[in-house]
Copies of this chain bind each other. A is one copy, B any other.
């Protein structure tokens, strides 16, 4: 339990700026709050490994609102809610219905009377997902002010058009554990690169979330992609500004080889160009299936010009000591396994499969930490009490 003791001591002195606030973008949170989140996630993980219950809600609902298909995030959310004692209730609107205006405001209140947390995934429409979460949040604020809601449920962004904070914070927890501490990440080189995939329309939230978070930690972050595969300009600009403010660097590279050179961490992953996602949003809204099909064909053809953007042994050999940490949010497009030609060779994927699965395993704890920090003013004190009580999760 000494590892837990260290984490709890770190938490003890720190104010919790996440309390009473939604978790929508990592770059809206202070560095201290991100440290708190990592520590709370780690404490929850250690308590569970020790078979100590972390149930702090005797009843309460965690609402999940998935506006896109999901298996992994759905299970991570369900696991996180359950870990704290909340029951999951799905809000299933039908995939195609993107409600706005009065409907959003009213629905937000109607589902929240006895709810403690709302998790939302809305990543299909550029300019819409994060905005929707804020619309829900402001409806809830109003309802609390008016006395309609007895408590303000915390909104957790389970992936939007801009950021994917539960993913990148799990990535960060993984990196912290692999490199020993947050401090050890300073000066480390991370390559966030595009990679080829035989599909199109993959969200921008992971690469944007990665450069938006890792540039705050004093890391040297390099972004590389083929011409035209731009991210949202405002996030790229933010990454540059943050790197400058935090003693790190944010550079661009034209090839994977250039980005991988000397890298300590590589994150090769496919995404759709920003302007394509914007065009796709317009077509989706217009329900123009012919237009969508044409766009898909054009994009797949464009992708096909870059099949050489694949993470393989030769590229990995260029990284620091040839053994950079390989990251992916999963599922990866693995050449010869899940597709003919993909983001990564089977050899490299297989070499890193075990750490990749551990990386994924942090997500339930990160989500639980977001729930807990949003709803408890002093998560450190709560976790200490749970540790001191030592009530078992599974009876002996």
Which residues of chain A (216-274) have a CB below 8 Å from chain B?
Answer: none
Chain B residue numbers with a CB within 8 Å of A393 are 57-60
Shortest Cβ distance from A75 into B: residue: B111
A188 sits at the interface (CB 8 A): no
| B385 touching A72, Cβ below 8 Å | no
A136 sits at the interface (CB 8 A): no
| A82 touching B61, Cβ below 8 Å | yes
Which residues of chain A (332-355) have a CB below 8 Å from chain B?
Answer: 334, 337-338, 354
A394 sits at the interface (CB 8 A): yes
Q: Which of A99-107, A121-129, A311-319 contacts B (4 or more CB under 8 A)?
A: A99-107
Chain B residue numbers with a CB within 8 Å of A331 are 103, 106
Interface flags for A141-173 (1: CB within 8 Å of B; 0: not) read 001001111100000000000000000000000
Q: Which of A17-25, A30-38, A293-301, A358-366 contacts B (4 or more CB under 8 A)?
A: A358-366
Give which listed residue, B63, B115, B116, B146, contacts A354 with CB less than 8 A.
B146
Tell me whether chain A's interface is mostly helix, strand or loop, or mixed: mixed
- CB within 8 Å for A82 and B87 given contacts A58-B393, A59-B393, A101-B337: yes
Distance in angstroms between the alpha carbons of A48 and B74 in the assembled complex: 28
> How many chain copies?
3
A8 sits at the interface (CB 8 A): no
Shortest Cβ distance from A80 into B: residue: B114
A91 sits at the interface (CB 8 A): yes
Give which listed residue, B59, B74, B382, contacts A53 with CB less than 8 A.
B59
| A61 touching B79, Cβ below 8 Å | yes
Chain B residue numbers with a CB within 8 Å of A354 are 146-148
Give which listed residue, B85, B110, B357, contacts A71 with CB less than 8 A.
B110
Interface flags for A42-82 (1: CB within 8 Å of B; 0: not) read 00000011000111111111010000000110111011001
Interface residues, chain A, with chain B CB atoms under 8 Å away: 48-49, 53-61, 63, 71-72, 74-76, 78-79, 82-85, 87-89, 91, 101-103, 106-107, 109-111, 113-116, 143, 146-150, 330-331, 334, 337-338, 354, 357-358, 360-361, 364, 375, 382, 385, 391-395
Counting from the closest, the 4 A-B pairs by CB-CB distance are A79-B114, A56-B395, A53-B58, A148-B357
Q: Contacts A58-B394, A109-B357, A116-B394 given; 16 further ones with Cβ under 8 A?
A: A57-B393, A58-B393, A59-B82, A59-B83, A61-B79, A79-B114, A82-B114, A83-B114, A103-B331, A106-B330, A106-B331, A110-B330, A110-B360, A143-B357, A147-B358, A149-B361
